[in-house]
Amino acid sequence: MRLLEKRKTFVFFLCAMVATAGLQAQKTLKVTVTNPSSFDRQEVVNIKMSSIAKFLKGKQEKDIRIVSKKSNTPQILQWLDNEGDGQNDELLFYVKISSKSSEIFTLEENKSIPQPEISVTTYSRFVPERTDDYTWENDKVAFRTYGPDAQKRTEEHRENGTLSSGIDLWLKRTNKSIINSWYKGYEKDPMYYHKDRGEGYDPYHVGGSRGTGGTGVWENDSLLVSKNFDGYRKIAEGPLRTVFELTYNPYSSYNVIEKKRISLDLGSNFSRFEVSYQSNKVLPNYTVGISLHENKGNAEIFKDEGIFAHHETIDGVYLGEGIVILPQHFQNAIVNKSKAKDQSNLLVLTKPTGKITYFAGFAWGKGGQASTSAEWIQILKKQAEIIAHPLILKY
């Protein structure tokens, strides 16, 4: 009996040691990030909470830091609650990694390490100051689209109306946030943000076109589109990513109902659109478009790479717009030039599966990212590579 008791005690001691070692091992967590591409990458990394649940157990999220082993400095991070249920789903941080290389980062609970701050950010909000726009931006680009009050004003022939589910572009040449200041200026001068005061301006016309990234259904040489968004839900904003959802009333004889989850990361020229849609009968396609404006620009299609580009000049300065999508979703592409106002669009027809993810964005010559068509195509090609080959995380 004594021998048995000694064995039990020894086994208990070993188990306790193993458990203690396991707890000690989780005081920090090493994350290796690998760049598989042949070019340097600067982007936001997503860590799923399920991947680090063991490490986070018993820890305060607000005290978590991510430290670069290479520079021994804390990294900008953001917690993200994708479902709006009060529980975070992802931990985001920003990385700069050379081509074909890896870097190591350490997660640790250490509130004594100052959380780094940056002067640039992502941002989005509903804007009742100008009827009911929804606007979003980061350090490079800004976008907006239009709500039900703007639609109603148009239908009732009142001022400040806009009837469009297209995506408007705000051309900015500062990395600072401009949404609030531009709308504040608008309250005193309705033409305020249509004049470049050194930060950029809005010379881009959407009207009934698709702008850059608007959707619809192509049928019998006509584009069927929704009216303005009917509802919105802000999900997140922060230094690294802003996320929101827009919903639309049914349209066309197909009774198409759309919900768009749109996000924009720091440092990116592209908004990510995750669209879910349904209809009361089978759709021939689901279409994403770019306005051709007055048909004076040039459209390019790289169907094997899922790249669709438009090049134009506004007020004598280059503007490149583009859509990037995984090639397996591609069905057809049409450069539809029309004599009807706002009906000329580069149309990307995708397979109607009920869900689609694509990236839509732009670069403006004065914004410092691209001033020629060749430079813009290179940015689009890099974005296609980023989508096809994400950064690799190993824990």
pLDDT of residue 331: 96
- Tens-digit pLDDT profile for residues 75-101: 999 999 998 889 999 999 999 999 999
- Predicted confidence at residue 50, as pLDDT, reads 94
pLDDT computed for residue 25 by the predictor = 44
pLDDT above 50: residue 237:
yes
User: How many Å apart are CA 15 and CA 142, to the nearest integer?
Assistant: 56
CATH number of 28-114: 2.60.40.1180
3-class SS at 109?
strand
Tell me: the pLDDT tens digits for 12-53?
Answer: 444 444 444 444 447 899 999 999 999 999 999 999 999 999
In the chain, the amino acid numbered 58 is G
pTM for the full predicted model: 0.92
* Contact call for residues 218 and 100 (beta carbons, < 8 A): no
Q: What is the pLDDT of residues 97-145, one digit of tens each?
A: 999 999 999 999 999 999 998 889 999 999 999 999 999 999 999 999 9
CATH number given to 123-389: 2.70.98
**Confidence band of 275 (pLDDT split at 50, 70, 90):** very high
pLDDT bracket for residue 8 (50, 70, 90): very low
**Gap between the Cα atoms of 173 and 154, Å rounded:** 31
Q: Model confidence over 200-236: pLDDT tens digits?
A: 999 999 999 999 999 999 999 999 999 999 999 999 9
Q: Encoding tokens for residue 225?
A: 């589109």
Q: Identify residue 331 by its one-letter amino acid code.
A: Q
Q: Give the pLDDT of residue 11.
A: 42
CA distances to 33, 47, 101, 387 from 392, rounded to whole Å, are: 6, 11, 11, 12
Taken in order 371, 377, 378, 381, the sign of the CA dihedral is positive
> Which among 195, 192, 238, 211 has a CA at the least distance from the CA of 143?
211
Is 333 a residue whose pLDDT tops 90? yes
Query: What's the length of the chain?
Result: 395
Closest CA to 287 of 389, 190, 393, 360: 360
The helix (H) or strand (E) run that includes residue 13 is: helix 2-25
Distance separating alpha carbons of residues 67 and 273, to the nearest angstrom:
31
Per-chain mean pLDDT for the chain? 93
Spatial contact of 257 and 250, defined as CB atoms under 8 Å apart:
yes
The total of other beta-carbon atoms located within 10 Å of residue 283's CB is 20
Domain boundaries, the chain: 28-114, 123-389
- What does the alpha-carbon distance between residue 333 and residue 302 come to, in Å, rounded to a whole number? 10
Buried b (16+ CB within 10 A) or exposed e, 294-309: eeebebbbbeebbbbb
Q: In what order do the strands lie in the sheet with 77-80?
A: 41-48, 90-97, 77-80
**DSSP assignment of 325-385:** --GGGEEEEEEE--SSTT--EEEEEE--SSEEEEEEEEEEGGGTS-SSHHHHHHHHHHHHH
Closest CA to 390 of 54, 136, 34: 34
Counting Cβ atoms within 10 Å, is residue 205 exposed (0-12), middle (13-18) or buried (19+)?
middle
